[in-house]
């Protein structure tokens, strides 16, 4: 007969609440994604809870007692969704279509998005607002009452908002008031007055590290922070909150205050910090997770933190089941659980082969990466290969930047003090920025990963193997077997991964033709075309995803782009522009709906950014390019598809090529009437091969090769009729959805190379 060691029961009891939280999460996730079944799930959980009560009373087993609580919580969560769903459906139906003067209250930060801004708001119903062409303006902040005009449609299942509003106009009816107004003034003053004048990129990053304001972070730095797995430092996380609480607690301890006073001071400091950085839902969740970590620290008992984490997650899901589908909430909870459960055992295992302080420094970011990685690949299918090392190097600087920057923000009434503190805070901020630049520039900084559930599962298995190989689990036969199996699996997976990296970084570039002059990048449903002659490179559009564009540029060995043409501002043509940050010299774009759209391109580091129109011409190497459309100042069409830049380029090693943007048949007719677009070797088919084409234009072009940038889509692109007219014109067809990367070259006999699928 074996007995548990003294104190073993307590950690087990603490872990039970985590199991209850897991059931609550599963029930909430299923119900919010498929709300039609919420009532049935609530009933099933209620019946299961009654059955568990009967069994628990008969057997007096703590396991069944936990089952009672878990089923009851699942019933409550599902019941919440079932009760709310009819009202949410009615609200969505009322909002669908045109909205005019819809008055709502902003409930989040107003953040930049592709070509505009976005925020969440609440009023007659919770809504998510996209404002293309909009820009942050005075009074538009958390707590402001605004009137929306635009189009609304039902939000996807799982979204906390019932509808999405694409605003054409946002009118501030009343700016934030009271403490929210004071916090807003502090944040904006810190960015506009205190940080201004300090060297970049540390200056732009400092408000993000201190108060979560990322408006000054350039597109290049943002991409580097993501590539090096440091982007969490610019979000208000549990670490920021815990740091603020810890400082308040330590200050009171130095003054000899009792524990109760210290805890109260920490709570007050945390509340003030939450208000300063905007008390939106994500910040409140981060504060809750920080509170969990602090309870574990203050009590000195890891198990207590685990239990409180379970309670916190359960309460949050009971109050708002839609959090279950929030990646931010999942990452907060996973990172906190990893800190409480995995960091210590990893440090113990690593300490066998290295000094204890170094082992702990590695264990903390490693635990977070192992726990959060499978969640991250669900929305960003890639792995930051050097993330742990980058966090080890940048991690110690981040708290210093946070503390000093926060002090500078609060010291604004005394300008000399604020400026001095900001200058000191700039040093660790610049350190973090340089770390991001350095690691993002390393080969294979971001390893492409399988998207979706199977990719997340594969990464979770890899993480489990790594943990099993490193953690000391005892000397029993089962413990030794688990360590051995983990090590074998880890070696096998790492070997496979190393092979994949070698294929991506060595084999693929070596097997890809190097004498190409036209490259149609595989960026999904979108366009990205490279043209090269005599070492000079032009890019026409960026596709929707910067990761896909970066992968194409890296594979083809393109470090600098001499000129980039953004034909128009739809996301499938400009969404990947951040990949050009720091490596483009000149940008020409089509007509914009607002100055804000074009202004976003100015942050990419180009020497010049301007609007192109018919008649503008230039050279890349020995090839001459000319813009054929639109005419300067045209009002025949609104900015968008029909005002896409149309380019004619050829000469040197570049076959004469016509790139038609997203022109419709009507715009193509005007282009053809002007006598443009005839007799070319290559044509980039308009609008991803949609049906809306002018056959006469393609007949006049007489192209040998037709390029179609297309990916998975619901539009039916490329349309069979368009493919038929291209064949009738005598063109060979190359399309990225079936051919992958497409390369072509000349002059003389045109050749085509397809990567294949």
CA-angle at 323, arms to 178 and 126, nearest 5° = 55
- Buried/exposed 288-308: b ≥16 CB within 10 Å, e otherwise: bbbbbbbbbbbeeebbbbbbb
Q: Which residue has the higher pLDDT, 674 or 448?
A: 674
Give residue 2's pLDDT band: very low, low, confident or very high (50, 70, 90).
very low
Residue 58 has pLDDT above 80, yes or no: no
Q: Is 180 helix (H, G, I), strand (E, B) or coil?
A: helix
The DSSP element (H or E) to which 266 belongs, if any, is: helix 259-276
DSSP secondary structure letter of residue 626: E
- 73-90 pLDDT, tens digit per residue, is 889 999 999 998 888 888
Contact (Cβ atoms closer than 8 angstroms) between residue 722 and residue 668: no
Which pLDDT score is estimated for 511?
64
Residue 668 has pLDDT above 70, yes or no: yes
Note whether 731 and 703 are within 8 A (CB). yes
Please check the confidence at residue 143 and state whether its pLDDT lies above 60. yes
Residue 561: the pLDDT is 94
Phi-psi region of 40 (alpha: psi -120 to 50; beta: other; left: phi over 0): alpha
Residue pair 493/469 in contact (Cβ under 8 Å)? The answer is no
State residue 482's pLDDT score.
Answer: 61
pLDDT tens per residue across span 554-563: 888 888 999 9
Compute the distance between CA of residue 542 and CA of residue 528 in angstroms, rounded to an integer: 5
Of residues 15 and 68, which shows the higher confidence score?
68
pLDDT of residue 1: 40
Q: How far apart are CA 395 and CA 386, in angstroms?
A: 13
3-state helix, strand, coil in the chain (%, to 5): 55, 15, 30
Q: How confident is the model at residue 588 (pLDDT cuts 50, 70, 90)?
A: very high
* Cβ contacts of 474 within 8 Å, gap of 6 or more: none
What is 96-176's CATH number, 3.40.228.10, 1.10.3720.10, 2.40.50.140, 3.90.550.10? 2.40.50.140
Give the residues across from 659 on adjacent strands.
647, 684
> 678 vs 390, which has greater pLDDT?
390
Q: What is the mean pLDDT of the chain?
A: 81
Above pLDDT 70, what percent of the chain?
84
Q: Comparing C-alpha atoms, which of 292, 296, 274 is closest to residue 334?
A: 292
What per-residue confidence (pLDDT) applies to 485?
62
Q: Which of 131-140, 199-208, 699-708 has the lowest mean pLDDT?
A: 131-140
Q: What is the pLDDT of residue 3?
A: 45
Q: Do domains 96-176 and 513-754 have the same CATH topology?
A: no
Give yes or no for a contact between 473 and 484, defined as CB atoms under 8 angstroms apart.
Answer: no
- What proportion of the chain, given as a percentage, has pLDDT over 90? 16
Helix (H, G, I), strand (E, B) or coil at 498: helix
Strand partners, 446: 384
Cα 620 to Cα 673: distance, rounded to the nearest angstrom: 28
**Structure confidence at residue 259 as a pLDDT band (50, 70, 90):** confident
Averaged pLDDT, 722-732? 91
Q: Which residues, other chains included, contact 608 with Cβ-Cβ below 8 Å and sequence gap of 6+?
A: 586, 587
Q: Name the token pair of 41.
A: 């799930």
The mean per-residue pLDDT over the stretch 694-708 comes to 91
Task: Kindly report, residue by residue over 490-522, the tens digit of the pLDDT.
Answer: 566 556 556 555 555 555 565 678 889 999 999
pLDDT reading at 39 higher than 50: yes
Strands of 623-629's sheet, edge to edge? Answer: 617-620, 623-629, 646-651, 654-659, 682-684, 705-708, 732-735
pLDDT at residue 183 tops 70: yes
pLDDT of residue 274: 80
Is the bond leading into 201 cis (omega within 30 degrees of zero)?
yes
Q: Is the peptide bond before 630 cis (omega within 30 degrees of 0)?
A: yes
Q: Specify the higher pLDDT residue, 138 or 601.
A: 601
For the chain, give every domain's residue range: 12-90, 96-176, 180-229+395-441, 236-325, 342-385+447-511, 513-754
Q: Supply φ then ψ for residue 662, to 5 degrees.
A: -120, 30
Nearest-angstrom CA–CA distance, 169 and 157: 26
Q: What is the pTM of this model?
A: 0.66
pLDDT surpassing 70 at residue 101: yes
For 513-754, CATH gives 3.60.15.10
Question: Side-chain half-sphere of 679: how many Cα atoms within 13 Å?
Answer: 1
Question: Other C-beta atoms within 10 Å of 271: how many?
Answer: 13
- The answer to whether the CB of 648 falls within 8 A of the CB of 677 is yes
Q: Check pLDDT > 80 for residue 288.
A: no
pLDDT score, position 501: 58
What angle do the packed helices 415-440 and 219-227 form, to 10 degrees? Answer: 60
- Cα-based distances in Å from 630 to 161, 170, 646, 677: 39, 29, 7, 13
Take residue 134 and report the two structure tokens written for it.
Answer: 């909009």
How many Cα atoms are found within 13 Å in the side-chain-facing hemisphere of 569? 23
**pLDDT score recorded for residue 710:** 92
Instruction: Measure the CA–CA gap between 693 and 480, rounded to whole angstroms.
Output: 67
pLDDT confidence of residue 9: 47
Question: pLDDT at residue 658 above 80?
Answer: yes
Helices (H), 539-608: 546-555, 571-574, 595-599
Give me the residue label for tokens 């350039």.
Answer: 218
SS (H, E, C) 280-344: CHHHHHHHHHHHHHHHHHHHCCHHHHHHHHHHHHHHHHHHCHHHHHCHHHHHHHHHHHHHHHCHH
| pLDDT at residue 94, rounded to an integer | 87
DSSP 8-state assignment for residue 628: E
How is residue 476 annotated by DSSP?
Answer: S
Q: Is the pLDDT of residue 655 over 50?
A: yes
How far apart (Å, rounded) are the C-alpha atoms in residues 219 and 437?
12
Instruction: Assess whether pLDDT exceeds 80 at residue 282.
Output: no
Which of 294, 282, 247 is CA-nearest to residue 407? 247
Report the C-alpha gap between 743 and 531 in whole angstroms. 10
pLDDT band at 156 (very low <50, low <70, confident <90, very high): confident
Least confident piece of the model among 292-296, 405-409, 554-558: 292-296
**Residue from 575, 596, 592, 599 nearest 134 by CA:** 596
Residue 625 has pLDDT above 70, yes or no: yes
Which alpha helices (DSSP H) does 637-717 contain, by range? 665-673, 695-701
Contacts of 59 (CB under 8 A, 6+ apart): none
Distance CA 692, CA 671 (A): 15
Model pLDDT, residue 237: 66
Say which residue the tokens 């997770």 belong to.
289
């Amino acid at each position: 007969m074996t007995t548990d060691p003294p104190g073993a029961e307590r950690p087990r009891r603490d872990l039970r609440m985590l199991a209850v939280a897991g059931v609550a999460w599963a029930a909430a996730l299923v119900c919010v994604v498929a709300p039609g079944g919420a009532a049935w799930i609530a009933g099933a959980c209620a019946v299961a809870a009654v059955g568990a009560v009967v069994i628990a009373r008969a057997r007096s087993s703590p396991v069944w007692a936990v089952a009672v609580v878990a089923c009851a919580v699942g019933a409550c969560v599902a019941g919440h969704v079932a009760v709310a769903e009819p009202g949410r459906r009615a609200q969505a139906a009322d909002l669908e279509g045109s909205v005019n003067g819809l008055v709502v209250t902003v409930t989040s930060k107003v953040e930049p998005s592709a070509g505009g801004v976005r925020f969440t708001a609440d009023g007659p119903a919770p809504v998510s607002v996209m404002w293309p062409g909009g820009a942050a303006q005075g009074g538009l902040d958390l707590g402001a009452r605004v009137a929306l005009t635009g189009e609304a449609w039902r939000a996807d299942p799982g979204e906390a908002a019932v509808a999405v509003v694409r605003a054409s106009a946002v009118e501030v009816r009343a700016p934030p008031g009271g403490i929210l107004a004071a916090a807003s003034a502090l944040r904006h003053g810190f960015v506009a007055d205190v940080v201004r004048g300090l060297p970049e990129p540390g200056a732009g990053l400092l408000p993000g590290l201190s108060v979560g304001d990322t408006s000054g972070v350039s597109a290049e730095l943002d991409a580097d922070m993501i590539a090096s797995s440091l982007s969490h430092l610019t979000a208000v996380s549990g670490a920021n909150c815990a740091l603020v609480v810890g400082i308040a607690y330590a200050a009171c301890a130095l003054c000899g205050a009792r524990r109760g006073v210290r805890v109260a001071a920490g709570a007050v400091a945390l509340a003030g910090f939450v208000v300063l950085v905007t008390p939106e839902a994500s910040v409140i969740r981060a504060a809750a997770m920080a509170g969990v970590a602090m309870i574990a620290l203050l009590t000195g008992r890891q198990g207590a933190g685990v239990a409180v984490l379970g309670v916190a997650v359960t309460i949050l899901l009971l109050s708002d089941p839609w959090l279950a589908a929030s990646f931010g909430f999942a990452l907060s909870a996973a990172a906190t659980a990893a800190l409480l459960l995995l960091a210590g055992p990893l440090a113990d295992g690593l300490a066998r082969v290295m000094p204890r302080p170094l082992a702990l420094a590695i264990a903390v970011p490693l635990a977070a990466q192992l726990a959060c990685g499978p969640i991250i690949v669900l929305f960003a299918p890639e792995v930051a290969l050097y993330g742990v090392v980058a966090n080890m190097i940048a991690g110690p600087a981040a708290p210093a930047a946070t503390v000093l920057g926060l002090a500078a923000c609060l010291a604004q009434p005394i300008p000399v003090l604020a400026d001095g503190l900001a200058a000191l805070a700039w040093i660790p901020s610049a350190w973090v920025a340089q770390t991001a630049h350095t690691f993002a520039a390393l080969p294979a900084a971001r390893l492409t990963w399988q998207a979706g559930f199977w990719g997340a599962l594969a990464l979770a298995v890899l993480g489990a193997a790594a943990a099993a190989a490193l953690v000391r689990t005892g000397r029993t036969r089962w413990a030794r077997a688990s360590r051995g199996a983990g090590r074998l699996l880890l070696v096998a997976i790492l070997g496979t991964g190393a092979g994949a990296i070698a294929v991506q970084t060595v084999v693929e570039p070596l097997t890809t033709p190097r004498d190409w002059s036209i490259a149609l990048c595989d960026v999904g449903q979108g366009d990205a075309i490279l043209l090269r002659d005599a070492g000079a490179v032009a890019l026409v559009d960026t596709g929707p995803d910067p990761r896909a564009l970066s992968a194409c540029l890296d594979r083809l060995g393109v470090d600098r782009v001499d000129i980039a043409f953004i034909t128009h501002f739809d996301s499938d043509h400009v969404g990947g522009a951040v990949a050009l940050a720091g490596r483009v010299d000149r940008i020409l774009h089509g007509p914009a709906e607002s100055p804000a759209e074009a202004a976003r391109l100015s942050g990419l580091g180009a020497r010049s950014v301007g609007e192109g129109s018919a008649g503008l011409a230039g050279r890349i190497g020995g090839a001459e390019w000319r813009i054929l459309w639109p005419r300067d100042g045209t009002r025949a069409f609104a900015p968008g598809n029909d005002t896409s830049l149309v380019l004619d380029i050829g000469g040197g090693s570049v076959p004469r090529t016509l790139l038609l943007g997203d022109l419709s048949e009507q715009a193509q007719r005007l282009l053809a009437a002007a006598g443009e677009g005839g007799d070319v070797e290559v044509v980039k088919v308009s609008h991803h091969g949609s049906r809306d084409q002018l056959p006469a234009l393609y007949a006049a072009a007489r192209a040998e090769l037709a390029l179609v940038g297309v990916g998975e889509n619901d539009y039916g692109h490329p349309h069979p009729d368009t493919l038929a007219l291209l064949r009738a014109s005598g063109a060979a067809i190359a399309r990225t959805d079936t051919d992958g990367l497409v390369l072509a070259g000349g002059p003389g006999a045109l050749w085509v190379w397809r990567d294949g699928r």
